[in-house]
Amino acid sequence: MTTGNINVSVENIFPLIKKFLYSDHEIFLRELISNATDATLKLKHLTSIGEAKVEYGNPVIEVRIDKEGKKLHILDQGIGMTADEVQKYINEVAFSGAEEFLEKYKDSKDTGIIGHFGLGFYSAFMVAKKVEIITKSYTDAPAAHWTCDGSPQFTLEEADKKERGTEIILHIADDSTEFLEENKIRELLVKYNKFMPVPIKFGTRTETLPKPEDAKEEDPAPTKEVDNIINNTEPAWTKQPSDLTDEDYKNFYRELYPMQFEEPLFHIHLNVDYPFNLTGILFFPKLTNELSIQKDKIQLYQNQVFVTDNVEGIVPEFLTMLRGVIDSPDIPLNVSRSYLQADGNVKKISNYITRKVADKLSSLFKDNREDFEKKWNDIKIVIEYGMLSEEKFFEKADKFALYPTVDDKFYTFEELQEKLKDNQTDKDGKLVVLYTNNKEEQHSYIEEARTKGYEVLLLDSPIVAHLIQKLETEKENISFVRVDAEPIDNIIKKDEEKISKLSDEEKDKLKGIISESVPQEKYTVQMEAMDSNAAPFLITQPEFMRRMKEMNATGGGMFGMSNMPEMY
């Protein structure tokens, strides 16, 4: 038996580990299962190149709770370790990693640091007062048994384990007994390990078998106990798009969000290996105007291990409304969010995602415009928000963004310009785009405009004031006017002049009466005849006044999207 001191300068590293990773104790299980997975895949590799002359078989990773003994076991059938390897990989390497980490972060109070440090094996000490490793290498070397109680002292002795692989035994600490609960462990396995590449067994489950041919009606169907495997080792995003059907994508969506009953509108399969590595599938969910707090978010994985569902800084903000999975080993995780946003690779990843989404939308638009128009109301909020926040996206989206009219025609901006250019210009030749954001409230104004042969757009998303502002600056010679903002004849140039049926005297009198009953600071009362058949006066809410108000009301938050709590 060997005893020794783990070579670290920090007197007792474990209380520090505990303190630093306090909020994230649960990741210990992910780390240990990642190690078990690595060990299994290493063996797979070695057998495939003929270096390990053993049968690879169908290795499984098992998680077992021993409630009475207050222990949690993680077993694998992977490569294993010799005593020398334990000495090297556990005592030296892993500790130096921990030390480096502490050195780097000991003065840091940056709460923006992502809670996942990949501290690996030693994260076990966040929940265990003592850890044992019993391991048998795939070689002929005898098995080894390592024990450490959280002080820098360890023991290492021979063991009689016969089967290849590693068993990690955690003696759960008194303040961490929740990790002895079956429900808790299941929850963690589902959260972090649901798509890992080696099967993970947690208990057994009863499977119902088909009834034999000669069974009687009243005979119960036979059952059998089978391993309860908690993961899908080949999730859709790891496959080639050409090998997947629409149904496969929908099934994967349900697998990702079991509580989500609405089907996604469409998906985008991401797959790139240069200059960075990234795979994934994004889904466009149905989004309504009243964006509720979104709990089903995009999930970030690294090599099929769940990392986080906070993708802020990695995915452009406007796309955080989408759902799905991104898997990339090239995203640094042990850094603060602000660092992440400055990282060159992350910037490239973010741009790539934006481009792929724009390209997908563009091809949906080109390939099946009718369908795209049908979906427009459900996707417009993402597109409009993207046009406001990402210049590159604006350039592409400008070609497929749609502007629906009150009577359900859909124009691209270019088509709109073409449509309006002869009939809807002001006296300076500027294009006048009439719009409404509320068909019911502005009904009579809309009717008025329509009888005069003008198009009225229905722009009703919550960020429309900002979008209009953006379009007016981006495009030349265009002005958006809400349909109730001013008498149409004042803005749109017409050849013939309107003659009012009222005399000047009558107008003044009427104006006086009406003005008294309308709040002056909000509305304007005008007596110019709207139309020979229409009422002789008009109460309007000037465009600039209202727009100022709208922008101020939504100020503070980015683009005024204060009703979107997840957007910041």
Query: Which two three-digit tokens encode residue 568?
Result: 């910041």
25, 30, 35, 114: which one binds ligand ADP (CB under 6 A): 35
78, 80, 115, 120: which one binds Mg ion (CB under 5 A): 120
CB of 345 to ligand ADP, least distance (A): 20
81 contact choice in Mg ion, ligand ADP, none (CB below 5 to 8 Å, kind-dependent): ligand ADP
166, 389, 437, 442: which one binds ligand ADP (CB under 6 A): 166
CB of 354 to ligand ADP, least distance (A): 32
Q: Tell me whether residue 35 is annotated as binding.
A: yes
Cα separation of 356 and 354, whole Å? Answer: 6
Among 301, 333, 300, CA closest to 114: 333
Give the residue closest to ligand ADP by C-beta.
120
Site for ligand ADP in 82-101 (CB under 6 A): 89-90, 93-94
Helix (H, G, I), strand (E, B) or coil at 233: coil
Cα separation of 492 and 478, whole Å? Answer: 12
199 contact choice in Mg ion, ligand ADP, none (CB below 5 to 8 Å, kind-dependent): none
Helix (H), strand (E) counts: the chain = 16, 21
Q: Which is nearer to Mg ion, 42 or 546 (CB)?
A: 42
Stretch that binds Mg ion, among 10-18, 32-40, 90-98, 386-394 (CB under 5 A): 32-40
Among 74, 89, 69, CA closest to 33: 74
Q: State the CB neighbour count (10 A cutoff) for residue 211.
A: 13
Query: Which two three-digit tokens encode residue 322?
Result: 């989408």
Q: Mention every residue, 6+ apart, whose C-beta is less than 8 A from residue 458.
A: 404, 405, 406, 435, 436, 437, 439
Cα separation of 102 and 482, whole Å? Answer: 60
Cα separation of 138 and 166, whole Å? Answer: 10
39, 401, 457, 465: which one binds ligand ADP (CB under 6 A): 39
- Which helix or strand (DSSP H or E) is residue 470 part of? helix 464-474
Q: Tell me whether residue 37 is annotated as binding.
A: no
Residue 81 binding ligand ADP, by CB under 6 A: yes
Q: Tell me whether residue 76 is annotated as binding.
A: yes
CA angle at 541 for the pair 404 and 479, rounded to the nearest 5°: 45
Residue 308 binding Mg ion, by CB under 5 A: no
Q: Tell me whether residue 96 is annotated as binding.
A: yes
Residue 148 binding ligand ADP, by CB under 6 A: no
Residue 35 binding Mg ion, by CB under 5 A: yes
Query: Which two three-digit tokens encode residue 224?
Result: 């059998």
Name the residues that contact ligand ADP, by CB under 6 A.
31, 35-36, 39, 76, 78-81, 89-90, 93-94, 118, 120-121, 166
Known binding-site residues for ATP equal 31, 35, 76, 81, 96-97, 166, 337
Name the residues that contact Mg ion, by CB under 5 A.
35, 120
Known binding-site residues equal 31, 35, 76, 81, 96-97, 166, 337
